Structures are given as structure tokens and as C-alpha cells.
Amino acid sequence: MTTTIADSRAAKAVLRTQRIELPSWAFGNSGTRFKVFAQKGVSRTPYEKIDDAGQVNRYTGVAPTVALHIPWDKVDDYGDLARHAAEQGVALGTINSNTFQDDDYMLGSVCHPDARVRQKAVDHLLECVDIMDATGSRDLKLWFADGTNYPGQDDIRARQDRLAEALQKVYARLGADQRMVLEYKLFEPAFYSTDVPDWGTSFAHCLALGPKAKVVVDTGHHAPGTNIEFIVASLLRADKLGGFDFNSRFYADDDLMVGAADPFQLFRIMHECVKAGALRPESGVAFMLDQCHNLEPKIPGQIRSVMNVQEATAKALIVDQKALERAQQSGDVLGANAVLMDAYNTDVRPLLQDLRVEMKLDPEPMVAFARSGYTEKVAAERVGGQQAGWGA
């Protein structure tokens, strides 16, 4: 496939406006369910997480917001945290709730059979909306670890009723320009029934709630072989795709770097987004990374992930849509597939390097960051205190 100058210009125009949100927790220590691996220089506070996120945006130019996770990123003054973020060239983004790390939630949170526990979970979600008011965040992201491990443990229908009731309470609290985005996950930690296991369950609840409720697609939350781009296309068609949590998985939810396991899948997903106009800011579709860097260094892991999304997007942008439509309309099965494969097999790295130069960025973000000395600097400065992360 030959990419014309016009194709390159059109692709660059979109890529220049692309926005990929960073997760604050990616800058903390993480690991497996057996062990968390500490690294030198890892951030200890939400402020230091923001510092690290600022480095990713400094070298990629397309990651200007940072999602917070409550209570991991709880601070006394969110206005001060926002001012600190602005000094680092970023802003505060999505607020993520946490209803899975408290002893009370052993049998669930908003779906728990005990009304006291359900109220505790709802109170936390309402607190997250209060934080959104303070930070100016648009989205409240909800993921529930609720479910059961054994047949008969609880009433499946009753749990759905409890979920719907809790969601309605939170939905009613949202401001005019705020949304809730509901994530789903095939399984884990519940092994018999999961209360929000798939996009259909999330979609049904969001449909009942109204226009400010959307579905989040985490690319690692599906059974092997699931056609995620079909889910994306269906949600876009229904105007119910709130956004993505990008990562990769080989089994279920490994939270590996996006594009690591199946870069072709990422390309196919972005192709659906391009066709539906979902890259336009007015579409409301949020693109966010949701990853834990267990082995690789945190900041380079995030930089590389942003670059992986950019590369998949660039390939999707140079698909010859007219040729694809002609082949589809004429029933040319192999011809249509070839149009997609031509775009996917195109090396778009030179195009992205040119774009970065035009944006006054280093054409090689990974090399530029390594050369900056930031890793060595924070390793020397961040000594003592409690590193951010989750225990195992």
C-alpha cells in the first residue's frame, strides 16, 4: 500500500488531536496476586504520580489528563492537586471508585445482601461525585467486583435489583455535564456468577438509567476469542460507548501493555472508532490506559503504551475506506480483507516521527525520556516513605 501525502496529512490532523488518558495507579508498585514487586523511584503520593504522568505527556504530547483512583489518590485539597497537575502540563481526569478493597465487601458492595454494606458502597460512590465537582472531572468510572462463588450463595435476580437501585441513586446525583461509565468483567474475583460480567449487562443498566450512563470496554475483560470490535461497533451504533480501558491480556485480565498480546485486534478496534467518528472530541468517547507495570519500569511502560495506541490509530486512519466499501458492496471477500491488511502492514512509525517533529517533540519519545535522566533523579530523591501501590 502506498500512503499519499494527502493521506498522511489527513491522518496527522486527527493524530494531533488524539487524547489518551493515563491511570495514576500505573505509576505505583504492582505485581501478581502472590507478590508486589517494588521498584526504585516509584511515586509515594498522588503529587508524585502526577509528576510522572507529566513526563509521559511531555514526550508524547497526547496524554494530557490523569485518572484518579479513590481512595488511593485521596488528598485534602483537590484544587491544590489540580494546580500541581497544571504545573506539570496535565490535568485531572476520570474519577475511579473502589468498592473492592474493604473487608465489608467480601460478599459484594452495591449488590451485597446487607443493606448497611450497600449503603456504605453508595456513600463512597457519592463521595466520588463530590470529588468530581472539586476536580472538574466529567466521568465517574464504576467497576464492581461483586458476584458469588457458589450456586445458591445469593439470589441472582435480587442482586441485579440491588445494583440497579444503587446505580440510580448515583445517577441522580450527577451534574449536568457529568457521566457515569460502567465497566464489565467476565469473571474474577467471583467465580460462579459475576454481577456485571459482559457488555450486555452493562448496556442494559445504562439504557435504563439514561443518556448520562455509558459502557466502558476494557480490552482485557473478555473470554479468549471474543470479537471486541463487534462490541465496540454495536455500542457506537447505540451511542452507548463511554470509553475504553486499554490493555492486553493472554488469559483474562493480565493488564499487560496495550498492543502487546494482539496488536491486530487493537487496530481492528481503532478501525471501528475511525469509521464511526469516535476520535472526534465531540463523540464523548474516552480513551484511557488501564495497566499495571509489574516488571517493566512505569514511565517507559506508559510512553510505549501511548505509542502503541498511536500506531494502531495511524494504521486505522490510512485504511482506504472507498476501496473497502467497493469491495464490500461487490462481495469481494478477499479484496476487502486485503484493504485492511494493507493498512495494518504499513509502517506508520515514520509518519508519527514526522508528526512529533511538527509538534516540536522528540521523534523518539522512549529514547528522549531515557536521555532525560528523570529515572535516576527520582530514584535518588524518593527515598523513604511509603511507595504507592497495592499489597499482595
Whether domain 10-315 has CATH 3.40.190.10: the reply is no
Buried b vs exposed e over 154-182: b needs ≥16 C-beta within 10 Å? Answer: beeeebbebbbebbebbbebbeeebbbbb
359-366 long-range CB contacts below 8 Å, 24 or more apart?
359/16, 359/61, 361/59, 361/60, 361/61, 362/59, 365/59, 365/60, 365/303, 365/306, 365/307, 366/59, 366/300, 366/303, 366/304, 366/307
157 contact partners, CB below 8 Å, separation of at least 6: none
Question: What is the value of pTM for the model shown?
Answer: 0.95
84 contact partners, CB below 8 Å, separation of at least 6: 47, 50
Q: Which residues of the chain have pLDDT under 70?
A: 1-6, 391-392
Q: How far apart are CA 79 and CA 65, in angstroms?
A: 15
Q: What are the tens digits of pLDDT across the range 220-241?
A: 999 989 999 999 999 999 999 9
Determine phi and psi for 107, rounding to 5 degrees: -105, 15
* pLDDT given for residue 34 in this prediction: 84
Q: What is the DSSP letter of 140?
A: E
- Closest by CA position to 304, among listed 100, 68, 26, 77: 26
Please list the residues that pair with 31 across neighbouring strands.
36
- Closest by CA position to 267, among listed 229, 295, 302: 229
* pLDDT given for residue 2 in this prediction: 61
Q: What is the DSSP letter of 33?
A: S
Length of the chain, please? 392
Neighbours of 347 (CB within 10 A): 10
Q: Write down the residue that cell numbers 516513605 correspond to.
A: 385
* pLDDT given for residue 60 in this prediction: 98
Sign of CA dihedral 121, 124, 129, 135: negative
Residue 94 in 3-state DSSP? strand
* pLDDT given for residue 3 in this prediction: 67
* pLDDT given for residue 6 in this prediction: 66
Determine phi and psi for 164, rounding to 5 degrees: -60, -40
* pLDDT given for residue 33 in this prediction: 77
* pLDDT given for residue 275 in this prediction: 96
Q: How far apart are CA 172 and CA 257, in angstroms?
A: 36
Determine phi and psi for 368, rounding to 5 degrees: -65, -40
Sign of CA dihedral 242, 246, 249, 255: negative
E strand residue ranges, 30-186: 30-31, 36-37, 65-69, 91-96, 139-142, 147-148, 179-183
